[in-house]
Amino acid sequence: MDQQNTFGVLQVVQTNRSIGLHFKVPPGWMNLTPMIALAFWICIYECVYIPLMRRISKKTPRLDIRQRIRIGILFSIICMLVAALVEKKRRDLALKHGLYISPLSFAFLLPQFALSGLNEAFVVVAIMEFFTLQMPESMRTVAGAIFFFSLSISNYLGSLIVNIVHKITSHNGRTPWIGGHDLNQNRLDYEL
């Protein structure tokens, strides 16, 4: 889930961010995409899916927690596949033209950011709901703390994996898959 925060913005920095002749999209704005996708899905789920299913089946057919987590994991896998394909294309175009900034439009990165938001809509909301429902009323704050603690642990593990991959792949003076500020010299598409 945190791939977008780790390398997504760096990918945007090295793409064509122009809209028209006079405006360049700031890389940080891409972090709005997952939030927009999350909000969009919640609206679709609550305003379209639930009422439609209620009419069809005459009851409120909400997806249960396990179903939402499974769907979220599927979105996470699809997100990584899309990110790897787009990164390969971005890097290949930059190297082909001998440029630091790839001629590939930043818009090609939107699907991976949106999929990241959908992953969050399913997994994060479901896990938070699980912690809230499974703990007694007096321990709801503890449930929130456990949830955010698990997020912080996953971020640390993600950073550890990046450091391990960097260390292993840079062995014997080779160019590491990841590390540095130029993604064109790295192989981020391998790690994804």
Q: Are 175 and 188 spatial neighbours (Cβ–Cβ below 8 Å)? A: no
Say yes or no to pLDDT of 6 above 50.
yes
Kindly tell me if the per-residue pLDDT of 192 is higher than 70. Answer: no
Structurally, how many domains does the chain consist of? 1
Q: Mind listing the pLDDT tens digit for each residue in 122-145?
A: 998 888 888 888 888 888 888 888
Among positive and negative, which fits the CA dihedral 147, 67, 53, 36? positive
Q: Which region, left, alpha or beta, applies to residue 98 given φ > 0 means left and ψ of -120 to 50 means alpha?
A: left
In CATH, what number is assigned to the domain containing residue 39?
Answer: 1.20.1250.20
Tell me the per-residue pLDDT of 27-61, one tens digit each, with 9 for 90 and over: 888 889 999 998 998 899 889 988 888 888 877 77
Residue 113 Cα distances to 7, 16, 95, 118, 150, angstroms: 11, 16, 24, 9, 22
Are 27 and 12 within 8 A, CB to CB? Answer: yes
Prediction pTM value: 0.82
Q: Which of 122, 133, 2, 13 is nearest to 68 (CA)?
A: 122
What's the start-to-end Cα distance of the chain, in Å? 12
Instruction: Assign 3 a pLDDT band (cuts: 50, 70, 90).
Output: low
pLDDT band at 78, cuts 50/70/90? very high
Domain of residue 31 covers 3-191
- Taking 50 as the threshold, does the pLDDT of residue 1 lie above it? no
What average pLDDT does the chain have?
86
Q: Which tokens go with 132?
A: 């809230």
High-pLDDT (> 90) share of the chain, %: 31
